[in-house]
């Protein structure tokens, strides 16, 4: 990629630690994992650059607040999409 790619974000499904490491080596870029849905304007959680462990989707993004609802519900709130309620 000519050394121009510095950061990539993966989402839509968990990525194993093994595949994550192979991609980091092959692409020579920092790869972060994210989780989100349309209701969260795409991103609700994100791993930090330098977090080399796979198998999790990181901490809440600065644009979202997350809480546990009725099991197995995960509720999140983002000012950019709603005024008062959790999705």
Q: Is residue 85 part of a domain?
A: no
pLDDT of residue 23: 86
Has this prediction a pTM greater than 0.75?
no
**Domains identified in the chain, total number:** 1
Instruction: Please give the residue range of the domain that contains residue 54.
Output: 7-77
Q: Is residue 82 part of a domain?
A: no
Give the whole-angstrom CA distance, residue 35 versus residue 14: 9
Q: Is residue 14 part of a domain?
A: yes
* Parts of the chain with a pLDDT under 70: 1-2, 38-42, 52, 78-87
Q: Is residue 83 part of a domain?
A: no
pLDDT of residue 42: 66
pLDDT of residue 2: 64
Q: How far is CA 79 from CA 25, 58, 84, 85, 86, in A?
A: 37, 20, 8, 10, 10
Q: Is residue 86 part of a domain?
A: no
pLDDT of residue 86: 57
Q: How far is CA 58 from CA 19, 45, 50, 84, 87, in A?
A: 17, 6, 12, 24, 19
Q: Is residue 87 part of a domain?
A: no
pLDDT of residue 26: 87
């Amino acid at each position: 990629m000519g050394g121009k790619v510095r950061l990539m974000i993966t989402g839509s499904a968990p990525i194993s630690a093994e595949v994550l490491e192979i991609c980091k080596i092959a692409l020579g870029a920092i790869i972060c994992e994210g989780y989100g849905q349309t209701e969260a304007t795409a991103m609700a959680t994100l791993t930090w650059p330098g977090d080399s462990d796979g198998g999790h989707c990181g901490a809440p993004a600065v644009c979202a607040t997350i809480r546990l609802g009725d099991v197995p519900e995960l509720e999140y709130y983002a000012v950019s999409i709603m005024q008062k309620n959790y999705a």
